[in-house]
Structure 1
Amino acid sequence: TNNWYPGEILDDARYTEKRVDVLAARAAQAFGEYLPVDERLAVDGRIYRRLSYGPLLDVFVLDMRTYKDPNGPNRYADPTLGLLGRRQREWLKRELAASRATWKVIA
């Protein structure tokens, strides 16, 4: 789909890779190289995590891109779809319930 020129197909010879899995792997690598995300804190290579700052503060860092549900077939909001995906949403609920911090920040 071409969002910039509806009805026209743009062909750019510079971009020869069309496989989504390869493009997604390259995007994840670029993300990891560019942003200061400490890979040692990652579990199963995921980006979302909880950062605890003593007994007062827990920061829940979410990934609202990687795990999002697929887009619906039309422009209307579908309440069954979300940005977090089932696995991350369940993790967030579980971690919020388990947190004993005074302040809980979702970022």
Structure 2
Amino acid sequence: MSERRPPRAVLDSDVIFSRVLYQLLGRLALQQRLLTLIWSEELLAEADRVLTERKPLPAAVAAQWVGYLREAFPHERVDVGTARADVDLRSLTSDSDDEHICALAVAGDADLLLTFDRG
């Protein structure tokens, strides 16, 4: 019998902004292996930019905050350019700024997309 893999999940940047959720989901993925968190450079760049502009956090703190995914899940980086060409990303979201999140979910074969965004 084959072992079932944990669901592959994308954390939208609004989830990354919540330190409590971010740490909880990170622990569930890293320690309990209940999730596999996938990420892209585009996601981390957006999160870093918003943390420094809107929180506002010092650049070094924001970089450390978003760098957790890169460090804890180094093999789960997804190139959003590999999203299937037959999927119209515009049909998956009403917010064009979130198309890279949809591309990450599609290219990374995500089972879950965790977000507070209603678009």
TM-score, length of structure 1 as denominator length: 0.25
Higher helix share: 2
Q: Which has the larger radius of gyration?
A: 1
- Choose between structure 1 and 2 for higher RCO, CA contacts under 8 A separated by at least 6 residues: 2
TM-score, length of structure 2 as denominator length: 0.24
